[in-house]
Amino acid sequence: MKIGVIGYGLRISSIFGNISKSDPDCRIVAIADPNIEGIKSKLPAGESDEIVFFEDADEMLRSMKLDGVIIGTRCNLHTEMALKVLKLNLPLYLEKPVATTYEDLYRLKTGFENSKSEVVVSFPLRNTPLVKLAKEIIDSGKIGTVEHVQAINNVPYGGVYYHSWYRDDSITGGLFLQKATHDFDYINYLVGHKPIAVCAMKSKQIFKGNKPAGLKCINCDEKHSCEESTIKKANLDRGDYCSFAVDTGNEDSGSALLRYESGMHVNYSQNFFARRGAEKRGARLLGYKGTLEFDWYTGELKIFMHHEPRVETHQLDINAFDGHGGGDHMLVNNYLQIVRGAEKSVTTLNDGLLSALLCLKANESANTNTFQNIEWN
């Protein structure tokens, strides 16, 4: 199985870099990326000799006979590259968010409707053992039907969204599209209902300031005292730029209320300046019979029974799983089986389109102080 990659960045290299270990019959044979020399320098010795490199995605798709394509470009190019692959009806692995504007979202929806491609969207959270266990318990009726959800994402590595290229929200589309897109997807999966409206707020209270545009930490006179300085060892992998400069984009906290067709609602909140023990990502799902809660950082899932004095605890060994709590491994395996023709996608492009629509509507709500209906106009 011959796989081509469009945009071989950190994310794609980390989960598909050892693709032959997941399936010895599968290999990356072509990469389209303008950073050819940089990619070659990071590949294991001899591996780059077996790969054909292109600066242009069109040239790769035109020149190579591929069995599947993986897209890991920067976010604002996801739609454009996906449309090229959808026209060829090839199995596609697409990084999230699938679109960063309404225009791209509708273009992608139309392209998908006219394609035969099976698409895996990079939504690892719904594939994690923790969410699979939660889904099994919820579907058993143990806590009753889910009538309220309280979800949270306190990101301890939030500096990456202000020090690196992620700070440019014209590329990222903002942090609902960067982070909440994952969380909205797993929530939709767990509750099994259709979202019909959203109301949201976002704030930028910490990562703002009057430092000069383009300033890098190494050139700042506060580089040894600033807690966000990338000169400090703990921050070396977070980028080079000052997070208190005038050109730093992205909000640093956001919250959304989602209304579902059943009448129940979800409240979700994300934060990007929480650190250390304040890290948390998970949810509480409340039914009449009980409450289920889980957290990926601890690997713990608890069930609080409402009408008897009993609490059940499930402890998963988080060290036994790879990236995103084991979800990355499941995504890769699902995609490779799709290329083989043996499976269907478990994180479809329809899931990706709905999550992106929710995020775009949340952004619009926050920017206009309005409720937004979740509907395809």
Q: Which amino acid is at 119?
A: V
Decide if pLDDT at 152 tops 90: yes
In this prediction, residue 323 has a pLDDT band, given cuts at 50, 70 and 90, of: confident
pLDDT of residue 238: 60
Query: pLDDT tens for residues 6-59?
Result: 999 888 988 887 787 778 888 999 999 999 999 998 887 777 888 999 999 999
Domain 2-123+328-347: CATH superfamily, name plus number: NAD(P)-binding Rossmann-like Domain (3.40.50.720)
Chain-centroid distance, C-alpha 340: 25
Q: Which amino acid is at 312?
A: E
Chain-centroid distance, C-alpha 189: 15
Single pTM value for the model = 0.95
pLDDT of residue 14: 86
Chain-centroid distance, C-alpha 35: 23
Contact residues for 27 (Cβ-Cβ < 8 A; gap 6+): 1, 2, 3, 19, 20, 50
Per-residue tokens: 262: 């059943």
Strand-by-strand arrangement of the 265-271 sheet = 311-315, 300-305, 290-295, 280-286, 148-154, 265-271, 253-260, 195-203, 372-373
Query: pLDDT tens for residues 52-91?
Result: 999 999 999 999 999 999 999 999 999 999 999 999 999 9
Instruction: Spell out the domain ranges in the chain.
Output: 2-123+328-347, 125-207+250-324+356-373, 211-248
Q: Which strand (E) or helix (H) includes residue 258?
A: strand 253-260
Inter-residue contact 85 to 32 (CB < 8 Å): no
pLDDT above 90 as % of the chain: 85
Q: Among 46-60, 195-209, 255-269, 334-348, which is the least confidently predicted range?
A: 46-60
| Residues in a beta bridge with 27 | 2
d(CA 310, CA 106): 48
Nearest 5°: phi and psi at 258?
A: -115, 130
Q: Judging by DSSP bridges, how do beta strands 300-305 and 311-315 pair with one another?
A: antiparallel
Decide if pLDDT at 239 tops 90: no
| Helices of type H across 10-95 | 10-16, 19-22, 36-42, 57-63, 78-86
Distances (CA, A) of 86 to 171, 219, 348, 353: 22, 45, 13, 15
Query: pLDDT tens for residues 83-137?
Result: 999 999 999 999 999 999 999 999 999 999 999 999 999 999 999 999 999 999 9
| Residues in a beta bridge with 290 | 305
Q: Which strand (E) or helix (H) includes residue 29?
A: strand 27-32
Architecture of domain 125-207+250-324+356-373: 2-Layer Sandwich (3.30)
The mean pLDDT of 212-224, rounded to a whole number, is 93
Query: pLDDT tens for residues 274-313?
Result: 999 999 999 999 999 999 999 999 999 999 999 999 999 9
Decide if pLDDT at 233 tops 80: no
Inter-residue contact 175 to 254 (CB < 8 Å): yes
